[in-house]
Amino acid sequence: MRHIAIVGSGPAGYYTAEAALKQWKDDVRVDIFDSSPVPFGLIRTGVAPDHQSIKSVARRYETTALSDNVHFVGNVMVGQDISIDELRGLYDAVVLATGAPNDRRLGLPGEDLPNVYGSAGFVGWYNGHPQFAELHPDFSHDTAVIVGNGNVALDVARILAKSGEEFQGSDIVAHALAALDASRIRRIVILGRRGPHQVTMTPKELGELAKLARACPRVDSADLPPLAQDAALDAGMRKTMGHLRSFAMGETANDNAAEGGEIVCPGRDIAIEFDFFAAPRAILGTDRVEGVEVERTRLVEGKAVGTGETYRIPAGIVIACIGYQTSRIPDVPYDEQGGRFANVEGRIMPGLYCVGWARRGPTGTIGTNRPDGFAIVEKIDADLGAAGGTGKRGRPGFEALAAERGIDFVKFTEWQKIDEAEVANARQGAPREKIVEVDRMIAKAHPSVLES
Ligand code: NAP
């Protein structure tokens, strides 16, 4: 018998569990630990609330989660409630699938001013992550600046631009819906330090901006490379460029640029402006953010190099969507440069592995994690050899330790009680209203604890 501990119940964790079941069938027991009482990681708190079709992948994880040989162990902080060495002592293999929940920092003056956020916090806020439920972003100014040219920047721009009705059918949490409904933001500037050919936005996500009820995406045609240069791009990037070019030509807008006027979208009063070749240099303000100082850049061998020309964008909120880092765990070697665990193809040290963003950094789609999970299971299989297990205790050993320490862990069937409560509490047309406080989640999972 093999005993496998997976730390993290997001896509990388569940794909690894699925691979373990496929590889070892009835000869494996998998425990999936999570610091949260609820499973599915980024599916729940990262994927945008209006992207329900992407979130539906969680149903696939449920099939794995409900296998007799897989257990969810929620509300356990590995590295705090139980150490990595203790886990390694109990399980034949420990796989870290902890993702990359921390923001990379801009490293700019003014970055810590009130109403400046990283995307982990801001996305967590509108997605009901308990850690960020009390963020209270202020939308009383008319301009928001988003830093970064990836899909997260697009998510944030879209969420800021949508009307209340456009959240119909989403699971955006009530506190975010109410705050966004009262928002005065009418200008959203997306800063890219490089150019249109360097964006990491995917076409489907970019195309969504053209379909918003009250927002108009705009690109300055002077920033676009000559059309002929698009031919060298891959098919996805060519589509992405097609969208950016249409935003410049006003295909989604009423192009009155010919008369020297501004491109405006009739009836759409929120502008989403792409500002390319624009690197933030300072966040301005005294008691709170008042603007961003930006330097024009040009590309030199693919890198953004400052031109010395600077300008200021007055803004009341800044959201940096510039990528993420894996959280450290005591005693696990860390790759500072990459912001992830130090590893060689997923191997960290004997008996300790990593997958997904914790292995390769925050890139790729949810589906990228599936081959990752299967690859790590093959490596574990090779390392364990023909003997399979090493006689470790696995789950009974963990349960004994949990009882000794009073670790109040949450099982999958107990998460289902939280799930039921959230679904029952959904506003009309929404799939659920998420519980955003950990103690309320625990109260649903363990009602008897409250009663006693
Ligand atoms: P990303 O695609 O790596 O984009 C990060 C952006 O931040 C880049 O444009 C980068 O510019 C910029 N940047 C980094 N440091 C900067 C700095 N100091 N100053 C200014 N700009 C800076 O990351 P992401 O948007 O966080 O997305 C993470 C992953 O999740 C991606 O794989 C993404 O596709 C995926 N995702 C997918 C979806 C979806 O499919 N619907 C939704 C959300 C996220 P440079 O290129 O110049 O470094």
Q: What is the average per-residue pLDDT within 237-247?
A: 96
DSSP letter assigned to residue 364: S
Q: What is the average per-residue pLDDT within 177-181?
A: 98
Nearest CA to ligand 1 atom 13: 322
Phi, psi of 235 (to 5 degrees): -60, -40
CA-CA distance, 84 to 409, in Å (whole number)?
17
Residue 59 pLDDT class (50, 70, 90 cuts): confident
pLDDT tens digits, residue range 329-386?
999 999 999 999 999 999 999 999 999 999 999 998 899 999 999 999 999 999 998 8
Residue 264 pLDDT class (50, 70, 90 cuts): low
Nearest CA to ligand 1 atom 14: 322
> What is the model's pLDDT at position 258?
46
Inform me whether the pLDDT recorded for 451 exceeds 50. Answer: no
Residue 251 pLDDT class (50, 70, 90 cuts): low
Do residues 90 and 398 lie in contact, with contact meaning Cβ atoms separated by under 8 Å? yes
User: Which atom belonging to ligand 1 lies closest to the Cα atom of 205?
Assistant: 41
CA-CA distance, 229 to 347, in Å (whole number)?
41
0.85 surpassed by pTM: yes
> What is the model's pLDDT at position 387?
80
Nearest CA to ligand 1 atom 4: 150
> What is the model's pLDDT at position 390?
82
Q: How many other β-carbons are positioned within 10 Å of the β-carbon of residue 76?
A: 22
> What is the model's pLDDT at position 252?
53
- The type of residue at 110 is G
> What is the model's pLDDT at position 414?
97
Could you tell me the distance, in angstroms and rounded to a whole number, from the CA of residue 324 to the centre of ligand 1? 9
Q: What is the average per-residue pLDDT within 134-150?
A: 97
Inform me whether the pLDDT recorded for 125 exceeds 80. Answer: yes
Phi, psi of 94 (to 5 degrees): -115, 125
Could you tell me the distance, in angstroms and rounded to a whole number, from the CA of residue 313 to the centre of ligand 1? 21
Residue 320's DSSP bridge partners are 118, 147
pLDDT tens digits, residue range 88-123?
999 999 999 999 999 999 999 999 999 999 999 999
Residue 255 pLDDT class (50, 70, 90 cuts): very low
Pocket lining: 195 vs ligand 1, CB cutoff 6 Å: no
Q: From residue 427, how far is each of 134, 156, 307 by CA, in Å?
A: 21, 23, 51
Q: What angle do CA 7, 8, 9 make, to 5 degrees?
A: 130
pLDDT exceeding 90 applies to what percent of the chain? 90
Do residues 215 and 270 lie in contact, with contact meaning Cβ atoms separated by under 8 Å? yes
The per-residue b/e assignment along 277-299, b for 16 or more CB within 10 angstroms, e otherwise, is bbbbbbbbbeeebbbbbbbbbee
Inform me whether the pLDDT recorded for 450 exceeds 60. Answer: no
Nearest CA to ligand 1 atom 31: 363
CA-CA distance, 340 to 337, in Å (whole number)?
8
Inform me whether the pLDDT recorded for 257 exceeds 80. Answer: no
Nearest CA to ligand 1 atom 5: 322
* Span of 199-203, 316-320, 364-368, 412-416 with lowest mean pLDDT: 364-368
Could you tell me the distance, in angstroms and rounded to a whole number, from the CA of residue 152 to the centre of ligand 1? 6
Nearest CA to ligand 1 atom 33: 151
Q: Kindly give, in sequence order, each residue whose CB lies less than 8 Å from that of residue 167, ignoring residues fewer than 6 positions away.
A: 49, 50, 177, 180
CA-CA distance, 210 to 418, in Å (whole number)?
37
Between these two residues, 264 and 58, which has the higher pLDDT value? 58
Could you tell me the distance, in angstroms and rounded to a whole number, from the CA of residue 157 to the centre of ligand 1? 13
Q: Indicate the top mutation candidate among 151, 206, 357 to test ligand 1's pocket, ranked by most ligand atoms within 8 A of CB.
A: 151
